[in-house]
Amino acid sequence: MSPEQRAKSILAAAASVFLLAASAGGQGMTSGILSPPANVRPPGLKNVGIRQNLNQPIPPDLVFQDDRGQSVRLGDYFGQKPIILSLVYYSCPMLCGEVLSGLEHSLRMMKFDVGREFDVVTVSFDPADTPETAARKKAEFLRRYDRPAADRGWHFLVGRQDAIDRLTQAAGFQYEYDPKTRQFAHATAIMLLTPEGRIAQYYYGVEYPPKDLRLGLVEAGKGRIGSVVDQLLLYCYHYDPEKGKYSATVLRVLRLAAVATMLCLGTFIVLMIRRGPVQDLQGVERVR
């Protein structure tokens, strides 16, 4: 690479850092809502909420059925890529559809592909759901997402009550069944798992900004996915588990910007020295 090309590369990197510094406060996720203490929740919602179990493992031995009716272990999906875990029930009239729609929209906005850089595991916490209902829900969202690798990367599962109980307990997902309405009261969140199946992050609500989700996947992936730019962003942004979002670490942004400035100045000085007065005089002679 010539000195001029090397200089252009350094200047491009510096420009990225300055843009990052300028937007340090602009990136954020929809505010997550942690569940209040059980003694202040309304009647019927005392056992509903999210309890963060960060860095805790999801049991790999839990057995569910996939959309084809085949028995699978959760551990079958561990080991290679980070995972997005979503807990819903397929007959939900409102919230679960919003969770899946918000997730699918965010996935579609990312350059990462389900089934390549990461997997998605959607599990119903309603034991009445069947592989047939899972298959219909999977077909609906794969049609929306419309990427070739998604069929082998987005898994829709159903299971027995004992497996559901162990999974929701491990994930800190608290819900309650209302026999009068025949519906479940539940919180809305997705979880990011490391390739080994440990809980890395929680994202609340029904909208998940793609930039935050991408950073979360890169961090949960422990260097297995992402680019150099992603690593720079992770250096400058920190995940806040209480808020469920990334926020800028201003001191790190300023340090990176200072380093980029020094690199730019140093490259400029080196290029000027290399050109020297001889090249300048030759240019003058050619003009004459």
Q: What is the pLDDT along the chain (288 residues), one digit of tens a residue?
A: 454 444 444 334 443 333 333 333 333 333 344 555 554 455 556 779 999 999 999 999 999 999 999 999 999 999 999 999 999 999 999 899 999 999 999 999 999 999 999 999 999 999 999 999 999 999 999 999 999 899 999 999 999 999 999 999 999 999 999 999 889 999 999 999 999 999 999 999 999 999 999 999 999 998 777 776 666 666 666 666 766 666 665 444 444 455 556 656 666 666 667 765 555 545 545 545
Question: Do 217 and 112 meet the contact criterion of CB atoms below 8 Å apart?
Answer: yes
Query: Any idea where the domains of the chain sit in the sequence?
Result: 1-27+227-288, 38-208
* Distances 44 to 126, 180, 185, 186, 218 between C-alpha atoms, Å: 18, 11, 8, 11, 38
Per the listing, tokens 């390739």 go with 195
Residue 35 has what pLDDT? 53
Cα–Cα distance measured from residue 182 to residue 197, given in angstroms and rounded to the nearest whole number: 32
CATH of domain 38-208: 3.40.30.10
Residue 141 has what pLDDT? 97
Residue 284 has what pLDDT? 47
